[in-house]
Amino acid sequence: MKNPFNILHLKQTTMKKLTATIVLLISSMCISAQCPFKYGATEEDSLECLQQLTNFHMFYKSKEYTDAYKAWQYCINNCPCSWDGLYLRGNSLLSKLIKDENDPMRKERLIDSLLYTWDISKINFPDKYSKIYLAQKTNIIYNFRREKITSTEELSQLLEMYINAIELGKEKIQSYTWEQYIEIAEEMTKATNEDKYAKEAYLRAVEYNFLDESSLDLLIKKRQITPDQQIKPCSNVATVRDAEGNVYNTLQIGKQCWMKENMRATCDKNGNSIASGTVSSSFTTPYRYYPNNDKSNVNEFGYLYNWEAAMKVCPSGWHLPSYPEWMELVDYLGSQNQYVCGKGKENINKALASTKGWGSCTEECATGYFKLSNNATGFSAMPAGTYNNEYRWFGTVCAFWGSTIERGDYYYFIIGNKRADWDHAYSDNKAEGLSVRCVKD
pLDDT by residue for the chain (441 residues), tens only, comes to 333 333 233 333 333 333 333 333 333 333 344 677 788 888 899 999 999 999 999 999 999 999 999 999 999 999 999 999 999 999 999 999 999 898 999 999 999 999 999 999 999 999 999 999 999 999 999 999 998 999 999 999 999 999 999 999 998 999 889 999 999 998 998 899 888 898 889 889 888 888 887 777 777 777 766 555 567 899 989 999 999 999 999 999 999 999 999 999 999 999 999 999 876 677 889 999 999 999 999 999 999 999 999 999 999 999 999 999 999 999 999 999 889 998 889 999 999 999 889 998 888 889 998 888 899 999 999 999 999 989 999 999 999 999 999 988 999 999 999 999 999 999 889 999 999 999 999
Of 130, 160, 187, the position where a domain reaches its end is 130
108 with 253, same domain?
A: no
Residue 60's domain comprises 4-130
* CA 307/CA 321 separation, integer angstroms: 12
Q: Is residue 26 part of a domain?
A: yes
CB 83, CB 4: distance < 8 Å: yes
195 phi/psi in degrees, rounded to 5? -75, -10
Split into its structural domains, the chain has a count of: 2
**Among 110, 130, 150, which residue terminates a domain?**
130
**Looking at the whole model, is its pTM more than 0.75?**
no
pLDDT in the model for residue 18: 36
107 within a domain of the structure (yes/no): yes
Looking at the domain assignment, is residue 14 inside a domain? yes
Structural domain ending residue among the three candidates 78, 98, 130: 130
**Structural domain includes residue 243:** yes
Whether residues 124 and 245 fall in one domain: no
Does residue 80 lie within any of the structural domains? yes
126 and 251: one domain?
Answer: no
How far lies 213's CA from each of 51, 217, 224, 349, 371, in Å?
52, 6, 16, 21, 15
CA angle in degrees (0–180, nearest 5) for 351-355-361: 85
Q: Residue 301: count other Cβ atoms within 10 Å of its Cβ.
A: 25
- Is the residue at 372 inside a domain? yes
- Indicate whether 246 and 376 sit together in one domain: yes
Note whether residue 105 is domain-resident: yes
- Residue 263 resides in a domain: yes
